[in-house]
């Protein structure tokens, strides 16, 4: 089945009806703005509670999708257990986790058909995710959500999680791949591409900052989300409180710095990562402070001296890394990130590099925020 065919509604219904009886399915619609997997909401007749998310995993990215499912199941069990024991910091707040649903005979956790890998997961109802943050309260909630997620998985043993995406967030590897792609790409002749090449060249030395600290034993691996951009966080539709992190395919051992950097590069970019208004791209300090405030209100206890020391580096590194990933993919013919037009990944790279520049220009202010929050108690 080609991608276009997979999206056609009749074939989607044929897939979804292997999870829920066809006569109960009312509609199937695209959901969210993911750049990797294909995601749909399956709406059932009259029963909102049972609506579910249908996803076709991108097996070019996740080459061992059964390991992704294994992690998801291990994660669900662990978080269920933690929630049933009670988490004081939740203070009565609703908290949810997307869970895999069973297929066909109720035995299988996924469906493989014609080379496609499908899964069904619970839909978190009565909640929204945002492409950009509208106010500081939302920013605090996003930070709280990431902190809560880290807290809930902090004691999930590393051995329970498979490595679903080798090399993910290992910036020096992305740099090495980029250098290979650059040698053969036909797409380097525009002014924008030349600007990107120069931008990367000037910052090569910073690529290894977190990996070097890890290799020296200063930073430790812990379970992380891997992809906590703000549209992977859900806020309750009524209270506005953070209630879930979704898109759990990259949950695996890593540095919490990858997550903090990713959440901030996404949350503090008020124009969003798809903007075309490059001159106006900037990193917002107030949003940064509010996200970190929310995060540290839960996570202060599990960050040590060295973790704090590398926070600024992470905030600068992760947008640079994402820019590098987008740009390499552009040079390589856009085979990784789904794109809607030929220069899409070039444009996305430029946005991340402009954001990196804005972070660098505000280094002193960001360091002052980190210092201030580190001292203040919850």
> x/- site string to ligand GN1, residues 279 to 318, per CB under 6 A?
----------------------------------------
Number of Cβ within 10 Å of residue 161's Cβ equals: 20
Q: Helix crossing, 311-331 with 256-267: angle to 10°?
A: 70
Say if residues 19 and 103 touch (Cβ distance below 8 Å): yes
Min. distance of Cβ 84 from ligand GN1 in angstroms?
A: 29
Which residue, 255 or 366, has its beta carbon nearer to Mg ion?
255
Say if residues 193 and 346 touch (Cβ distance below 8 Å): yes
- Would you list the DSSP string of 95-109? -----BPPBTTTTBS
Min. distance of Cβ 344 from ligand GN1 in angstroms?
A: 11
Which residue, 61 or 288, has its beta carbon nearer to ligand GN1?
61
Which residues in 319-378 contact ligand GN1 (CB under 6 A)? 322
CA angle 229, 234, 236 (to 5 degrees): 155
Dihedral (C-alpha) 7, 11, 13, 19: value to the nearest 10 degrees? -100
Which residues in 244-263 contact Mg ion (CB under 5 A)? 247
Q: Which two structure tokens, joined as six digits, stand for 53?
A: 């998310």
Q: Kindly state whether residue 227 participates in binding Mg ion, applying the rule CB under 5 A.
A: yes
User: Where does this chain touch Mg ion (CB under 5 A) — which range of 44-52, 100-108, 219-227, 283-291?
Assistant: 219-227
Which residues in 220-279 contact ligand GN1 (CB under 6 A)? 227, 229, 232, 247, 250, 262, 273
Element (H, E) at 117: strand 116-122
Min. distance of Cβ 159 from ligand GN1 in angstroms?
A: 22
Which residue, 141 or 227, has its beta carbon nearer to Mg ion?
227
Q: Kindly state whether residue 38 participates in binding Mg ion, applying the rule CB under 5 A.
A: no
Q: Which two structure tokens, joined as six digits, stand for 141?
A: 């909630």
Min. distance of Cβ 168 from ligand GN1 in angstroms?
A: 7
Q: Kindly state whether residue 236 participates in binding Mg ion, applying the rule CB under 5 A.
A: no
The entry of Mg ion, ligand GN1, none that residue 229 binds, CB within 5 to 8 Å by partner kind: ligand GN1
Binding residue count for Mg ion, defined by CB under 5 A = 2
User: Where does this chain touch ligand GN1 (CB under 6 A) — which range of 28-36, 77-85, 172-180, 252-260?
Assistant: 28-36
Min. distance of Cβ 372 from ligand GN1 in angstroms?
A: 28
Dihedral (C-alpha) 352, 61, 159, 309: value to the nearest 10 degrees? -10
Of 15, 25, 28, 34, which one interacts with ligand GN1 (CB under 6 A)? 34
Phi-psi region of 336 (alpha: psi -120 to 50; beta: other; left: phi over 0): alpha
Three-class SS of residue 302?
helix
Of 20, 35, 332, 356, which one interacts with ligand GN1 (CB under 6 A)? 35
For 22-66, strand residue ranges (E) read 25-30, 38-44, 52-56
Min. distance of Cβ 355 from ligand GN1 in angstroms?
A: 12
Phi–psi pair at 91, nearest 5 degrees: 50, 45
Which residue, 36 or 193, has its beta carbon nearer to ligand GN1?
36
Write the DSSP symbol of residue 341. S
Q: Kindly state whether residue 36 participates in binding ligand GN1, applying the rule CB under 6 A.
A: yes
Q: Which two structure tokens, joined as six digits, stand for 264?
A: 């901030």
Min. distance of Cβ 328 from ligand GN1 in angstroms?
A: 12
Which of 103, 42, 54, 98 has its CA nearest to residue 75?
Answer: 98
Say if residues 257 and 314 touch (Cβ distance below 8 Å): yes
Catalog residues that contact ligand GN1 under the rule CB under 6 A: 34-36, 61, 227, 229, 232, 247, 250, 262, 273, 322
Which residues of the chain form contacts with Mg ion (CB under 5 A)? 227, 247
């Amino acid at each position: 089945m080609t991608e276009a065919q997979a999206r056609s509604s009749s074939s989607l219904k044929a897939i979804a009806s292997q999870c829920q009886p066809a006569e109960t399915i009312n509609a199937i619609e695209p959901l969210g703005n993911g750049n990797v997997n294909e995601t749909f909401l399956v709406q059932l007749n009259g029963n909102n509670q049972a609506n579910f998310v249908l996803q076709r995993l991108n097996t070019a990215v996740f080459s061992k999708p059964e390991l992704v499912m294994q992690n998801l199941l291990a994660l669900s069990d662990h978080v269920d257990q933690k929630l049933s024991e009670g988490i004081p910091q939740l203070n009565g707040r609703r908290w949810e986790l997307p869970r895999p649903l069973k297929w066909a005979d109720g035995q299988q956790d996924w469906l493989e058909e014609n080379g496609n890998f499908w899964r069904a997961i619970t839909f978190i109802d009565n909640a929204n995710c945002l492409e950009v943050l509208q106010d500081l309260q939302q920013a605090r909630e996003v930070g709280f959500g990431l902190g809560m997620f880290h807290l809930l998985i902090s004691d999930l043993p590393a051995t329970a999680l498979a490595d679903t995406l080798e090399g993910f967030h290992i910036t020096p590897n992305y740099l090495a791949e980029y250098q290979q792609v650059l040698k053969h790409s036909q797409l380097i002749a525009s002014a924008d591409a030349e600007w990107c090449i120069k931008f990367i060249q000037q910052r090569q030395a910073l690529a290894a900052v977190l990996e070097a600290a890890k290799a020296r034993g200063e930073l430790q691996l812990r379970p992380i989300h891997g992809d906590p951009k703000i549209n992977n966080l859900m806020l309750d539709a009524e209270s506005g409180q953070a209630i879930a992190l979704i898109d759990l395919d990259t949950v695996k051992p890593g540095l919490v710095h990858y997550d903090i950097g990713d959440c901030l590069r996404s949350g503090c970019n008020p124009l969003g990562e798809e903007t075309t208004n490059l001159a106006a791209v900037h990193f917002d300090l107030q949003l940064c402070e509010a996200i970190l405030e929310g995060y540290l209100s839960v996570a202060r206890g599990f960050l040590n001296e060295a973790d704090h020391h590398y926070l600024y580096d992470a905030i600068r590194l992760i947008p640079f890394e994402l820019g590098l990933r987008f740009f390499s993919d552009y040079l390589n013919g856009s085979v990784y990130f789904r794109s809607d037009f030929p220069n899409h990944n070039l444009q996305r790279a430029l946005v991340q590099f402009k954001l990196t520049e804005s972070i660098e220009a505000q280094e002193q202010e960001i360091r002052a925020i980190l210092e201030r929050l580190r001292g203040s108690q919850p």
